[in-house]
Amino acid sequence: METTFKTKLICAFFSLISVFFFACGGGTPNTETETTTQTAGIKAVPLPTNIVPGFKFPEDSTVILNDWLRNFATQPPFDTVSIYKHAWGIWAGLTAKSGESYDGQNLLVYETWPGITDIRSMVAEGKTDCPTRSGHAKLARANQFDHAAALMKLNNTGGNIDRNPGFWVSVSYDPTAACHATKYQLLNPKVLNKKIVKGGIGAIEPFPNTAITIKPSYMVGHVADSLIKIPAWPGPPSPSKNFPDKEWNSWVYVDVNNRQPADKKIVPAPTDNPTPEEIAAATCNLNEFIYFKLNKEAADYINAQDSTQGVQAVAGDLALLVAMHVATKEISNWVWQTFFWSHNADNPASPSNAVAAGLRPSELQGAASHYAVSIAYSMTVPNQPITGGTNSGMKPVIGYNPYLEPSLGQINGDGPGQFPNKLNPAFKWGVQSNCMSCHALAAYPDNGDVYSADQYISLDDPYYMDKVQLDFAWSIKDNLLPAK
């Protein structure tokens, strides 16, 4: 058995195929994924709140602001223990079994929620009732990479935006957020145009405090491959810079047949010329990931967007969850937690840490326990009010996802399409970002998305003049119907 596996590893190393997929045969994966008979439809299952004892959702905003964030006081510092516990409670609910199934696969709770394409289709038809999910997630390229590339070209800041050919994202809303989006037709530019206030600041109807928006992000690999090669986050660079995954020099190999020992310590392999021994040490099991199998419809949707990449998806390919942004409208600015797969989930690299990992609830079992968390419940320390706050004397709160933000290029500066950083002019990279600060800039209309590294942004900033604030939802701006 050892000789056979080493042979396959050598085969994986020398295969001259896609940089992200190493094919050595191996047949159908032997996974632990449960299957059921396909159902006629998918019922959107609300976030369960009874999995982790003591977890409450939505949490009272006064508890978050006054107790966890210390009511804008400098001392004592934030109650990060309560914040991390809350984030893990949300994760436990998102990744719980839903009782729903599709295409022979049991679905987790988050997989039952309407996707942004489902919501968009209903808004296009003028329907205002609550949407349902039509199938597996429609995986698309991350819009932020296209925006970042355009901004880089505009400002001639140099560097490259990494469009990993195996990396795909989706956006979903929980049932209450989805109903809100269709009720108010928030993806219709005609509706948004009516909310523009000349010489003032407009706004959409705020989402309810039960609202959750998520951005599950996946690496897709071929089902016939014995190993799937995936970049493994090594931690942020020093000094800070643009840091696409092709520069991480850190890879894991996913054994689709789950032949690795349980609790094996994974040592990521280098990019160039890894030895068979290094590949073996970097090989983990498929069942350490949340994943689903693409059907023909999902594969065709990918291929329709990916005609120039040369990597064709086929039915049965595996979509491995590597990242998920999660925003909940429990306070006006939402609270932000982002999860990413880690080869060392007990002691993950920054922007997570061992303290956060140590607070994972015991109820979090299996693949879901192999993810790390980063949080952004405020823009700065101390927390600032919605309007009228300051960056003077503030300390940063860094919270980002390694698979989404590090390769955005320079996002702050004084150039066209850039938002100056008033907290620290040196903060201009994705590895210095904060989900709340960046999403605060979601507005309509504009001449291209404007992102920001961490800083305090007042919601009455002149940036918003003659715009409609989108309640921190870039997913609205990026999925608007065509203007007519």
The three-state secondary structure class of 426 is: coil
Tens digits of residue pLDDT in 242-255: 999 999 999 999 99
**Three-state SS annotation for 427-484:** CCCHHHEEHHHHHHCCEECCCCCCCCECCCCCCCCHHHCCCEECCCCHHHHCCCCCCC
State the Cα–Cα distance between residues 2 and 5, nearest whole angstrom.
Answer: 5
Burial of 222 (0-12, 13-18, 19+ CB in 10 A): buried
In terms of DSSP H, where are the helices of 318-460? 354-358, 435-440
**What is the percentage of the chain residues whose pLDDT exceeds 90?**
78
List all residues 6 or more positions away from 355 whose beta carbon is below 8 Å from its beta carbon: 80, 84
pLDDT (mean) for 83-88: 99
Q: Is the pLDDT of residue 160 over 70?
A: no
d(CA 116, CA 15): 37
Neighbours of 210 (CB within 10 A): 17
Give the model confidence (pLDDT) of 172-201 as tens digits.
Answer: 999 999 999 999 999 999 999 999 999 999
88 vs 156, higher pLDDT: 88
Checking DSSP bridges between strand 443-444 and strand 395-396, what pairing results, if any?
A: unpaired
Q: What tokens appear for 422 in the block?
A: 């008033």
Say yes or no to pLDDT of 24 above 50: no
C-alpha 249, offset from chain centre: 22
Pick from 35, 44, 57, 72: nearest CA to 181: 44
Query: For strand 380-381 and strand 371-376, is the pairing parallel, antiparallel, or unpaired?
Result: unpaired
Residue 361 has pLDDT above 70, yes or no: yes
Tokens 């009732």, residue located: 129
Tell me the mean pLDDT in the region 29-39: 34
- Interval 445-482: pLDDT, tens: 976 668 999 999 999 999 999 999 999 999 999 999 99
Do 44 and 119 meet the contact criterion of CB atoms below 8 Å apart? Answer: no
- pTM listed for this prediction: 0.89
Task: Decide: 13 and 274 in contact? Cβ < 8 Å.
Answer: yes
Q: Cα–Cα distance between 178 and 193 in angstroms, integer?
A: 21
